[in-house]
Structure 1
């Protein structure tokens, strides 16, 4: 007989959340190590790591109760965490939109100047990256509108998509800096003159990743 395939980490995490939410009770680690194998097929030796990963991600709550630590995961608490995460993602979408608008303005300035100054190097790449970033922002905005009915897996996919959009915007910032160095080397233009001529804002900077909301 072939051996039964063990659960993946994601499957163990999902089943552990099911176990905690089904009863809506508080459990010690020893209790979970005892009942998780029977109810959910999670090997007892892996229970600690699975629970800790859920605590680290803010999915499972924990607190000291005397000398022991107890763990729980209430369905209502999960809803609140998802709503908080949605709020963070909406802010990231707004930041991506703001970056897109700023980059569009820069592109217009660069297009107006490229004929006279011979600045055609990399233009097609810039346009492609801008188009991809615009599509990502539109898709993210639509997904945020539907997020209230989503499950944790969809929420994770949305977080990854937002990260991709943020990285695309940051690559755009890299490209603007590459163009600045190209103009400086080829035409001897200073960074300050480049910023004035092509409308590059002084506060152009990279988008930083938002930290996930912490439970109160």
Structure 2
């Protein structure tokens, strides 16, 4: 609760703060604002808050008990024994071996028929795009020759186009 008294706070601000915190009631009657507070209101507010907190405490205690029961239940069959320790060690070894085998499979991924087919499709799309751009370059060179009368070698040199530029088979 923010009931800091300072010289800069006006009575109106203090009252508004008390109203916001539910400590004081207000009503507008005609052109006047009336403020009031009954001692029993604060008592009821504290009792209500106490009830809420007790309810939360009871709920939290129930959750705690349920979690403790769950922990006890999960411990059954997990007692530290030599057999369990050996099984855990074997599990760790098998997981490590699985990772090694997975890494080895990834090495040979490039031989996978699905991967090869995917690469062929990607290459086909890239080839079509390269030929489309080559066609665009030839069209622009042709237009520049007609429009401005430039020689083809001058266009190639000016735009950094290699002399052996051609379609991909």
The TM-score range, normalised by the shorter chain, is 0.3 to 0.5
Give TM-score, length-normalised by structure 2: 0.39
Greater RCO, 1 or 2 (C-alpha within 8 Å, sep 6+): 1
Give TM-score, length-normalised by structure 1: 0.32
Structure with bigger gyration radius: 2
